[in-house]
Chains A and B, each alone.
Chain A
Amino acid sequence: MKFIIVTGVSRGLGLGLTKALLSSGYKVAGCSRSRSDALNELEMSNDNFKWFPCEVGDATQTQTFVSDACQWAQAPLWGLINNAGIAKEGVLATFPNVDSDELLQINLNGALYMAREALRMMLRQNSGGRIINISSIIGSRGYTGLAAYSASKAGLDGLSRALARENGRRGITVNSVAPGYLDTEMSSTLSDSKRAQIINRTPLGRLGTVDDVAPAIEFLLSDGAAFITGQTLTIDGGITN
């Protein structure tokens, strides 16, 4: 049974992905800042899942989390899914610097800290591995009012490319998955008109769902994806086509 760490599992894509990975036979350690009822239920009903508290923007907490998770799993670490992230909206000219700092600390530095800890495990194990950074089409295309968020996601794509080069010789692949607009809590703040506009511009005529993204992540975790690294896989219904 392969062991995977997923960050940001309390809701949305992280929660849905965790359920999908468990259904496919993976052992999963997940983290988030706080517990949720859904996590409690998942932990109660599945011995192959354990939740840990961790703020990924805090390097010390990521060290503790990865160490504790690997001790719990009693298995080599096969994969890391860097999914934790926050979104804050506002034009940059009036966007508080403290909000930009917090967003970049969690979305970008958090992923970097987690990748560092995972790579330390994977290098010692010397049996390959997978790192998948959950990016966004907003990282490559930009979006009004989401400058810091866009910068953080573009940064994740750069992180994937650099780590892919750095660790490829050890059979460790590093890729980004860039979803488009997903029907999750994160997109619930979209106005009806904005939502309709996005759907109208999407060739496949709808917002994406967790079920559209999870299979692509599972593919990148699989042996079949062993020769794919440093790539960004866009899953957006064709809106950036």
Chain B
Amino acid sequence: MSDIKTLIIAELEKIIAAKGEACPDIVGETRFLQDLPMDSLDLATLLVTLELETGKDPFRDGFKGFQTLNELSALYQAA
């Protein structure tokens, strides 16, 4: 598994644990808002954290759509 995927999963687990929710198994095709106990603010928190951790902001020039762990990882790998 790539470093960025490992980082995203670790941050997701922290965010979900902070809400007191159980975190299901996360795989590449896991959809953030449909398959995990997350809302849009949780997703925003994830992206802010990833920017700080990686120094990359794939959305600097405008928002790019993504739904799954694989899709978000690809955006960071391309940034």
Interface residues of A (CB under 8 A from B): 120, 123-124, 126, 166-167, 169-170
Contacts and interface: CB of A to CB of B under 8 A. Distances in A.
A123 B18 contact: no
A170 B45 CA distance: 11
Interface string B23-55: 000000000000000010100110011001000
Residue from the set B45, B48, B52 with the largest chain A CB neighbour count within 10 Å: B45
A123 B45 contact: yes
Contacts of A169: 39, 41
Given A167-B41, A169-B39, A170-B41, A126 B18 contact: yes
Contacts, number: 16
Measured as residues with beta carbon below 8 angstroms from the partner, the interface class of chain B is under 10
Contacts of B52: 124
B48 A120 contact: yes
Interface in B54-78: none
Given A124-B45, A124-B48, A124-B52, 5 more contacts: A123-B48, A126-B45, A167-B41, A169-B39, A169-B41
Nearest to A169: B41
13 contacts: A120-B48, A123-B41, A123-B44, A123-B45, A123-B48, A124-B45, A124-B49, A126-B18, A126-B45, A166-B41, A167-B41, A169-B41, A170-B41
> Considering residues B18, B39, B48, which has the most beta carbons from chain A within 10 angstroms of its beta carbon?
B48
B41 to A, nearest CB: 6
B67 to A, nearest CB: 21
3 A-B pairs with the lowest CB-CB distances in the bound complex, closest first: A123-B45, A120-B48, A124-B48
Contacts of A166: 41
Nearest to B39: A169
A126 B49 CA distance: 12
